[in-house]
Chain A
Amino acid sequence: MIRWNRLPLCLHVAWREFRAIATSYAVLLVLVGGVFAYGVLYNYMYAPNVVREVPVSVVDHSHTALSRQYIRLLDATPHVAVARQVQDMAEAKQLMLQAEVYGILYLPRDFEGRLLRGELSVYPFYAATDAFLYYEAMERANLEVMEAIDAAHRTEQMAFLSAGELAAVATQSPVTVVGTALYNPIEGYGVYLIPSVLMIIIFQTLMMLVAMMTGDEYKHRLLAPYVRLRGSHTHIALSLVCGKSLTYAVLYGIFSFFLVGLLPLLFDIPHGASWGALAVLLVPYIWSTSFLGLALSRWYTDAEAPVLLIAFFSIGLIFLSGVSYPFELLPWYWQVVHYLIPAAPAVLAYVQLSAMDASLHDVWPQLLALWGQVVVYFAWAVSTYKLKVGN
């Protein structure tokens, strides 16, 4: 049935690979669960996108109109909700310990008094840092209220100004500082995280797919028919690597279309990349991942063990990619590793293309890294398969 002729052999391998994938429950489970269920699930989980109404408690020792105004304004911000007003700090700390509140605003006895005397009124605000998003939300809400209250009482405070100060206030105005978020106008956490997760799902499930196929291949000696073929080992290895990766490329062309093409449209996460740009990124990404998987298959002796190892690395890839902690601040050796693993540069390039309206020209370092991997991992995969059919 196997004819010695490189093109048909390669296609024959591709067809066999496809049939093997379609008839293995475990593989189908990874593909359906990993690609489709996971892709949708992540979007669902992060759909709230922003944290709102972070609960804080207030210790109000001032009991004045001003302190009540402050508390009202704080409660009115979208970021923070005043969950409890308590008598003293001990009680507030207890609430924090029980994770009922994440911040404590303390308004001292002379909070309004100092203002009425024209003195500086300083009050402490304590915020938990066990989730940075909560911390940022609380810090921001408190700053907004502080500025609003300060502005509201400025006219009354004129009474305390000297002639020189009055003149200065009358003739000068403060500089307006405007900060603008680029690319993520709703400031959403999902908007930021999900594109990276989707790209890592592609890497992760494809590596698993290759591991399961090649692990079974070793265990059940599925390469035996190819070993018996006449012809050079290089040609057989080339046909095997090309045939298998052809199947992976076709399947993952479809899956990627769903993950990074369709899902972003459905869930309204960034989708700024054109189809053409996506293709230019995905072709080397899928190839380098397939070849890396095939190259590593030298050490796969069953279908389960490698899957276990691959699963372990998923979260680490987010850090390695440089989307959460900046690439520039990673130690040099992790920066080197970043360029060796297809998922890391691909995630970064995808975020730039889809969320930052970058052009392909802007992501050339990542594309170059991916194509470098394609070449190196292809050669490595062929040598792995030469070894396999050689024995």
Chain B
Amino acid sequence: MFMNVFLRELRRMTSRRIYLGAAVVLPLFLIFFMATIFGDGQMRHLPIGIVDGDNTATSRNIVRNIAAVPTFEIAKHYTDDAEARAAVQRREVYGYLSIPSDFEADMVRGNGATLNYYYHYALLAVGGEVMSAFEKALIPVRMAPVVVEAVTLGATEESIETFLLPMTSDDHALYNPSLDYAVYLAVPIFFIMFQILVLLVTLYAVGSERKQGTGTMWLAAADGNILRAVAGKLLPYTLIFICEALLAGVVFFRWEHIPMAGDMGLFALTMVLFIVATQSVAVILYSLFPVLPLVISVVSMVGSLGATLSGLTFPLSAMSPVVQWVARLFPVRHFTEAMQCIVYFGGGFPVCWPQLAVLCLFPVVMLLLLPRLRRILSTNPYDTVE
């Protein structure tokens, strides 16, 4: 009976390419995509430009220092700011350093020399990197005139630097000290894209029954027991998805060496709950709107909202309260919180149980809607709206 439905579903799965494609090939492709797309994860050798209007020993020295910064690769020297700006527009460079004429002379005379750098902020992620690399690289240049003069006059470099920056913050970027993009995004984006597949494959598996007019046969295979029918149908996919999520865990945490502060077993449990919760959402949606083409259209768009609503790149707390509230309806939001808690903070069950508990609510809601699904299947075996 339960096995009937299970085996029937295995036959359905193998009868069409779409199941193989969406439930096996695409997840594997996704693991490969997320493991490779960021290169080595470090923004290095970003092309930048130099406008050296001064062309003196001092300015050339600054340029040499900039060239040594691993984030940068000096792509080209430009004669003036306008030319450099045009190069940014062509996206040849992501920013440039402009050293004005008379820079050295102003510095020697103590006239308050100025250095300008420009960074590309229409491409915000790259721009942020370029800005912070410039800031760090130019700190010694800022103080250089005073330090050099003081050292010539017999002071030690250390004491004058203490005078200039008596209070110095020692910044620690927790869990991701090198601000590696692969560490930041690979795991969460994998699961955000993965949940789109879980949602759609589940919807398709459930919805194609009535679309093909086999809804009553499905129910009959489970002896009319809707719980058995749904469980037997979803279980093959659940198992496949769990294997894929575990494989992704191995690829990211073992091969790609993304640090995992917490317990792998707890993370595996979180993934299982997440997959089941997401499948439940698909069944809930189909029970509420039992017309496959329409609900697939809606979910295919709602699924990619997961990227925004997970709060991964733009924090949810900065968005409007309505958006924050809506995000709670998506398992991916709770999963992301639990994932960050386990993977980054090394939080154990006592800390992240609320997220896991919420993930368990989705199957409960699904159970409440099963009678409705049963009614739909038995009274109206076909999709009516085309």
Contacts of B208 in A (CB 8 A): 304
Q: B308 → chain A, closest Cβ, in Å? A: 6
**Can you pick out 16 interface pairs between chain A and chain B where the beta carbons lie within 8 Å of each other?**
A26-B386, A30-B297, A34-B301, A46-B319, A97-B351, A163-B153, A165-B155, A175-B115, A178-B114, A182-B118, A183-B120, A309-B22, A311-B301, A334-B36, A356-B91, A357-B89
Q: Which of B223-231, B234-242, B338-346, B361-369 contacts A (4 or more CB under 8 A)?
A: B338-346
- Expressed in whole angstroms, the Cα–Cα distance for A99 and B354 within the complex equals 13
- Known: A174-B146, A175-B114. Contact between A26 and B297, CB under 8 A? yes
A24 at interface by CB-CB < 8 Å: yes
* Known contacts A124-B169, A176-B112, A179-B117, then 13 further A-B pairs from the complex at CB < 8 Å, ordered by chain A residue: A26-B294, A52-B318, A135-B179, A142-B171, A160-B159, A162-B154, A176-B114, A176-B142, A182-B121, A320-B37, A324-B123, A329-B43, A330-B37
User: Interface 1/0s, chain A 93-133, versus B by CB < 8 A?
Assistant: 00011110000000000010011001111111111111111
Interchain CA distance A389-B128 in the complex, whole Å: 54
B interface bracket (residues with beta carbon within 8 Å of A): 35 or more
Contact A362 B90 (CB under 8 A): yes
Quick check: which of A5-13, A184-192, A237-245, A273-281 contacts chain B, the rest being far away? A184-192
With the chains together, A109 CA to B345 CA distance in Å?
A: 27
Count of interface residues, chain A, beta-carbon cutoff 8 Å? 120
Contacts of A38 in B (CB 8 A): 301
Closest chain-B Cβ to A152's Cβ sits at a distance in Å of: 10
A325 CB–B CB distance under 8 Å:
yes
Judged by a CB distance under 8 angstroms, whether B74 is at the interface is no
> How far does the alpha carbon of A142 sit from the alpha carbon of B296 in the complex, in Å?
47
Report A-chain residues with C-beta under 8 Å of the C-beta of B173: 127, 129, 135
**Cα A33 to Cα B296 with chains together (Å):** 12
**A312, B315: Cα distance in complex, Å:** 23
Whole-angstrom CA separation of A115 from B166 in the bound complex: 7
Contact A130 B340, beta carbon cutoff 8 Å: yes
Evaluate contact between B159 and A165: CB separation under 8 angstroms: yes
Chain A residues, CB < 8 A from B22? 305, 308-309, 312
Known interface pairs A120-B168, A304-B211. Does A315 touch B110 (Cβ–Cβ under 8 Å)? no
| 0/1 interface trace, chain B 321-361, chain A, CB 8 Å (1 if under) | 00100000000000001001100110100010000000000
Q: Which of B196-204, B244-252, B267-275 contacts A (4 or more CB under 8 A)?
A: B196-204
Q: How far is the CA of A157 from the CA of B319 in the complex (A)?
A: 44
Q: Mark A306-334, 1 if CB is under 8 A from B, else 0.
A: 01111110111001100111101111011
Per-position binary interface string of chain A over residues 1-39, scored 1 when its CB falls under 8 Å from any chain B CB and 0 otherwise: 000000000000000000000001111011001100010
Per the bound structure, the CA–CA distance linking A29 and B386 in Å amounts to 12
B243 within 8 A of A: no
- Do A125 and B170 contact each other (CB < 8 Å), given the known contacts A308-B300, A311-B300, A329-B39? yes
Does any Cβ of A come within 8 Å of B14's Cβ? no
B82 at the interface (CB under 8 A from A): no
Which residues of B lie under 8 Å from residue A352 when comparing CB positions?
89-91, 122
B308 cross-chain contacts in A, Cβ below 8 A: 42, 45-46
* B4-12, B130-138, B213-221, B373-381 - the one binding chain A: B130-138
Q: Which residue of B lies closest to A272 (CB)?
A: B122
Q: Which residues of B contact A198 (CB under 8 A)?
A: none
Nearest-Cβ distance from residue A320 to partner chain B, whole angstroms: 8
- CB-nearest residue of chain A relative to B173? A129
**Min C-beta distance of A215 to chain B, whole Å:** 9
Determine whether the beta carbon of A270 is less than 8 Å from that of B113.
Answer: no
Smallest CB–CB gap between A236 and chain B, Å? 26
Indicate which residue in A47, A123, A179, A303 contacts B131 across the interface (CB closer than 8 Å): A179
Q: How many A-B residue pairs have CB under 8 A?
A: 379
> Which residues of A are found within 8 Å of B181, using beta-carbon distances?
325
- Residues of chain A within 8 A (CB-CB) of B120 are 182-183, 356
Let me know if A120 and B166 touch, CB within 8 A. Answer: yes
CB-CB under 8 A from A328, the residues of chain B are 45-47
A40 touches B (CB below 8 Å): no
User: B304 within 8 Å of A by Cβ?
Assistant: yes
Contacts of B135 in A (CB 8 A): 143, 177, 179
Asked whether any CB of chain A lies closer than 8 Å to the CB of B382, the reply is no
Whether, in the assembled complex, A134 has its beta carbon less than 8 Å from a beta carbon of chain B, the answer is yes
> Per-residue 0/1 for B263-290: is the Cβ within 8 Å of any A Cβ (1 yes, 0 no)?
0000000000000000000000000000
Q: Select A157's contact among B91, B110, B152, B166, beta carbons within 8 Å.
A: B166
A390 within 8 A of B: no
**B68 at interface, CB cutoff 8 A:** no
Query: Which chain B residue lies CB-closest to A324?
Result: B125
CB of B143 within 8 A of CB of A184, answer no
Asked if B57 CB lies within 8 Å of chain A CBs, one says no
Mask of B294-309 contacts with A, CB within 8 angstroms, 1/0:
1011111101110110
Which residues from chain A contact B114 at a C-beta distance below 8 Å? Answer: 175-178
- In the complex the two chains form, what is the Cα distance from A196 to B219 in whole Å? 45
By the criterion CB–CB under 8 Å, are A129 and B131 in contact? no
Contact in complex: A125, B172 (CB < 8 Å): yes
A154 touching B315 by the CB < 8 A rule? no
- Chain A residue numbers with a CB within 8 Å of B300 are 30, 208, 307-308, 310-311
Give the Cβ gap from A149 to chain B, nearest Cβ, in Å. 6
A304 and B293 contact, Cβ closer than 8 Å, known pairs A130-B175, A174-B146, A192-B122: yes
Q: Which of A134, A179, A182 contacts B122 (CB 8 A)?
A: A182
Query: Which of B33, B112, B301 has the largest count of A CB atoms less than 10 A from its CB?
Result: B301
Does A232 lie at the interface of the complex (its beta carbon under 8 Å from any beta carbon of B)? no
Asked if A181 CB lies within 8 Å of chain B CBs, one says yes
Q: A168 at interface (Cβ–Cβ under 8 A)?
A: yes
Query: Are the C-beta atoms of A174 and B145 separated by less than 8 Å?
Result: yes
Interface centre among B131, B150, B175 (most CB of A within 10 A): B150
Q: Which of B37, B143, B145 contacts A319 (CB 8 A)?
A: B37
Smallest Cβ distance from A150 to chain B, in angstroms?
5
8 Å CB contact of A125 from B117, B145, B169:
B169
